[in-house]
Structure 1
Amino acid sequence: MSDLDTKDLDPKELDRLLKQAFAAATKLYQERGFQRRVGFGKRPALVSVDLANAWTRPGNPFTCDQDKMDAEIIPGMQRLLTAFRAANLPVIHVTTAYEITDREAPFTDMGLWHNKIPIDVVNLKDKDLWAIDSRIAPVEGEYTLLKKRASAFHGTELGGILRASGVDTILVTGVTACACVRTTLCDGLADGFRTIAVRECIGDRVPGVVDYNLFDIDAKFADVESVDTCVSYIEGLGAARIAAE
């Protein structure tokens, strides 16, 4: 769906239609045993997907909904980062960029994905494009992972470094709901991690996409939880650790 298709769409009407569809789907899912809970584990990590300038700032083909980015995603991420840092828990910032961006090159790290989407605009040489947004910039001790595909797990070291740190739960944030966030959650669950999608900290470009994907993800691949719930969980782990020392 393009901007031309959605610019005149009434958000209230879209929300009404989605809620109507979700109500019918919830009945079906629950009758068939879906929407079970995976739950929080004992040692979580925050996996922030593609909250880099090409996605979080205006003017790029990858730019996501700026209203949600500025009003919900970045403030929510700031709260999560504060909680994770206070509890001394792992934080992984994920970004995407390519070294060989010539679409006619006989060999490229873009693979075939550039035939579907404009990944050639995220050039590794232009660090400002793929740098994590300065409002949620990594601090010392946090890791920035460079990926080439949608999932943060596909062909990367993510699963290995999480397991090496004893992580059993991943709280996933970022963009986009329909692609990189979704596939990261799917692969995270497949790799044996408890998967939590942080509702307010997940965005996309097209109206309705976030709501639909979070509804469907919650039915099959992860628990969708609020920032408040996630922060309370992290703060509780920190308090328990301090009490045990």
Structure 2
Amino acid sequence: MSFEAGGYGEIGIGWGKRPAVIVVDFQLAFTDPAYPLGQSSHIHAAVERTSALLAFARANSVPVATCRTAWCGEKDMILWKASAVRDGMFHGDRPTEMDPRIHDAAYDVNFVKAAPSIFFGTPLVSYLNKAQVDTVIVTGCTTSGCVRASIIDCFSYGFRTIVPEDCVGDMGLEAHRANLLDVGRRYADVVDAETCMAEIRKLTAS
């Protein structure tokens, strides 16, 4: 039996009336080539595309929430299997800083998280509800890890979930494509940044 035969992906999510953009872990640990996790050209391209989307969103008064991963120490660090995630990721370490191409401290709301999803253990849902958001555009890294976890939580909280493929990145294209294919069958509409900007433009005009 195929996914198609089971009806996966037949129904689109669509857009509501009030979108927001969330950015998962575009911090220096993942975007600066000086660090082991920051050497993916695919993530670098996603940062540049997300930067353009965010500039457009802010210019149209769309809420933006970003996050970064950091811990106080070994005691509160969860049991990651990737050694590079465990090193240099404590509060105050440079890899925990947001990439300046992404973060606008005067506009964005920024959360610190300790688990994969931007929703887990943060006030994100309260922030989105306060802003009357019904549609969430998910960007960031990595597609197969923290982005996927955030997509599933976004869907689970009842938000219309939109994923611009060119605004999420991973260590490898195979993992990126496979996970987008799967979440596109189940939880989200997978589009591109240009589509997101066009929808924001229409919603702003209306």
Task: Give the superposed CA RMSD.
Answer: 1.5
Kept in 2, the 8 Å contact 1:110–1:148? The answer is yes
Question: Residue 200 in 1 paired to residue 166 in 2?
Answer: yes
Kept in 2, the 8 Å contact 1:64–1:204? The answer is no
List aligned pairs for 1:71-220, cutoff 5 A.
72-101=45-74, 108-111=75-78, 113-114=79-80, 116-118=81-83, 119-121=85-87, 122-126=89-93, 128-220=94-186
Cα offset for 1:131? 1.3
Deviates more, 1:181-190 or 1:51-60: 51-60
Q: Give the letter aligned to residue 109 of structure 1.
A: D
Question: Residue 29 in 1 paired to residue 3 in 2?
Answer: yes
SS at match of 2:23: strand
Say if 1:163 and 1:64 are closer, same or farther in 2 by CA, change over 3 A: farther
Say if 1:84 and 1:175 are closer, same or farther in 2 by CA, change over 3 A: same
| TM-score w.r.t. length of structure 2 | 0.93
Cα offset for 1:206? 2.5
Indicate the residue corresponding to 1:238 in structure 2: 204
SS at match of 1:29: coil
If you compute each CA radius of gyration, which structure gives the higher value, 1 or 2? 1
Cα offset for 1:64? 5.0
Q: How many Å separate the matches in 1 of 2:204 and 2:126? A: 24
| TM-score w.r.t. length of structure 1 | 0.78
Deviates more, 1:165-174 or 1:138-147: 138-147
Cα offset for 1:136? 1.8
Q: How many Å separate the matches in 1 of 2:182 and 2:34? A: 30
Q: How many Å separate the matches in 1 of 2:71 and 2:108? A: 22
Kept in 1, the 8 Å contact 2:43–2:170? The answer is no
Cα offset for 1:155? 1.5
SS at match of 2:2: helix
Cα offsets for 1:168-222 (capped at 9, x unmatched): 1110011011110001000111011110111001111124111111111100111
Q: How many Å separate the matches in 1 of 2:117 and 2:37? A: 16
Q: Give the letter aligned to residue 77 of structure 1.
A: T
Cα offset for 1:139? 3.8
Cα offset for 1:138? 1.6
Cα offset for 1:73? 1.0
Kept in 1, the 8 Å contact 2:24–2:67? The answer is yes
SS at match of 1:62: helix
Q: Which runs of 4+ in 1 moved over 3 A?
A: none
Cα offset for 1:165? 1.1
Q: How many Å separate the matches in 2 of 1:231 and 1:189? A: 21
Mark the runs of 5 or more structure 1 residues left unpaired by the alignment.
Answer: 1-26, 102-107, 241-245
Cα offsets for 1:46-104 (capped at 9, x unmatched): 000000110011132322522x233x312211221122111111001111011113xxx
Question: Residue 43 in 1 paired to residue 10 in 2?
Answer: no
Count, aligned residues: 203
Mark the runs of 5 or more structure 2 residues left unpaired by the alignment.
Answer: none
Among the aligned pairs, what percent are the same residue?
32
Kept in 2, the 8 Å contact 1:172–1:197? The answer is yes
